[in-house]
Amino acid sequence: MRIFVFYILFGLLFFGCARIPKKDLQARLSPAISVDHTKEQAFAEGDFEPGPWPDDHWWFMFDDPQLSFLIKKVLKNNPDMGIASMRARKALQEAYVVRSALFPHLKGEFEVNWEHLSKDNLYRFPPSMIPANIYQLVIGLELTYEFDIWGKNRQRYKAALGEARVATAEAAMTTLHLSTAAAKGYFNLQTSIEKEKMLKGRSKAENDLLFLVQQRFVHGLANELDVKEQKNRALKTDQELVANTERIALGKNFLRALMGDGPDNDEKMLTPQAHYEGKFPLPEYLSLDLLARRPDITAKVWQVEKAAHLIGAAKAMFYPDLNLIAAGGLESLSWNMFFNKDSFAGSLTPALHLPIFLGGKLRANLDARVAEFEEMVYEYNHTLLIAAQEVADSISNIRSATSRLRDQEGVVDEMGGIYDLTFANYSSGLDSKMQVLEREVQYLDAQMKKYEIEGDRLNQIAALIKALGGGYEDHCNKQAEWEQDARDACGK
């Protein structure tokens, strides 16, 4: 008889479960995308040089203590940093909650239940000896444990741990985003402040020219059209000055908000003096190592890992669950007998749950987890493409900005020389005051253009630093193992 029962249980265990379907994966993880050709072109033109990856204090390379102070304050006080940090902490603690299913659970209980029984109650029906007022006293321990034979809970814990690592990588991405945003805002403010000086000089020169044209009109040496054209140029310059003043105010508000200050904070900002004049270092193994240097790529790594473990957990749900509940303690109807040895009570309840037919729930859950896995793979591939594009674009933009800056510096030198010669001719009586003012306006315009290109170049350098990960490094990169992990997870 016992052997017969054993065979029944054996058959239920191995043949009564739902069958696990095989799944074919469509998505494939993309290998590292090469940007070596772009890198070699950059080296050939002389704007870049071989060097290390940016470190996590990359802002020191701009040689401006105020910029360093600004970014450190942003990373310390910006609420987004606190949000990202707490999300990472919450995700880790939630992973520990999932991990608790791997261990036995032991809980104690103490219960006192007073009850008044009516005379017509079944338990007091004569000739019962049960009194009208009774106490139900219980004290004991209960042990519950789920045997994780098929690894369902282990897979869920690994998935939750992967989610915590995703949150950690996203916190690093927040750090990178805030620091580079602060640097770009600072560079834009610097450009606007430098342009303000030029615009004030040009406004004075344009208004001086307007006065001279008006005097010439009075004496019949100029017509009304000349006056209107010059007045229009003076008004446009004044409009540019007002717009630039607005950009300065908005830029300061932006930086104060990043630092966690209000717009009316009276802390004064010194004149920005950031600069970067040397060649920018590019890592030797740029294409390959970029995988471990970008926090957004790392976040996608762990999302893929998480999805793979959830597939494993979904597969384990096709197998039986074996649970054990054990309880022991004291139960009595009176305080006098409560701690007597006769009050001892206990139970042992092993349970086996077989998923025989659940209306397609398990298969649908597995299909959903496989689709989620493939979605994460596609997202990883997309992020990798964007990362490579951002690196290549930033390198090209820096090359272009550096070339334009060299040309504009030449224009500024030439316009400065023309202005000096015109002023010398004016001093000798060979040129008029109007010619001097016109050359001054042209010279100021050339300088403003130079400041704009310098600011653009600094912004492009900050963009390249962000594209290179800003000093982030993932020591848990497992790119080489993913393909095999994916096959194992999906039963291939």
Q: CA 380 from chain center: how many Å?
A: 14
Quick check: 16 pLDDT over 60?
A: no
- Between the alpha carbon of residue 315 and those of residues 23, 159, 312, 320, 487, the distances in Å are 11, 14, 5, 11, 13
* Structural domain boundaries enclosing 236: 21-103+152-319+359-489
- How many angstroms separate the CA atoms of 157 and 234, rounded? 69
Bigger pLDDT: 232 vs 21:
232
Q: How many domains does the chain have?
A: 1
Least confident residue range of 6-20, 199-213, 254-268, 391-405: 6-20
- Asked if the structure places residue 66 within a domain, the reply is yes
Lowest mean pLDDT among 66-70, 220-224, 262-266: 262-266
pLDDT at 467 over 60: yes
The token duo for 25 is 């994966």
Between CA 99 and CA 153 the distance in angstroms is 7
Q: Are 159 and 91 in contact (CB under 8 A)?
A: no
Q: How confident is the model at residue 124 (pLDDT cuts 50, 70, 90)?
A: low
- Check whether 482 has a pLDDT greater than 90: no
Is the pLDDT at 334 greater than 80? The verdict is no
CATH number at residue 45: 1.20.1600.10
What residues contact residue 413 under an 8 Å CB cut-off, 6+ apart? none
486 pLDDT band, cuts 50/70/90, is very low
Q: Quick: pLDDT tens for 275-323.
A: 998 899 999 888 878 888 899 999 998 999 899 899 888 888 888 888 8
Q: Where are the alpha helices (DSSP H) in 284-348?
A: 286-289, 295-316
DSSP one-letter string for 172-220: HHHHHHHHHHHHHHHHHHHHHHHHHHHHHHHHHHHHHHHHHHHHHHHTT
In a domain, 335, yes or no: no
| Position 368 in a domain | yes
Establish if 136 belongs to a structural domain: no
Paired strand residues for 353? 321
Is residue 122 one of the residues assigned to a domain?
Answer: no
**pTM metric for this prediction:** 0.84
- Domain annotation covers residue 135: no
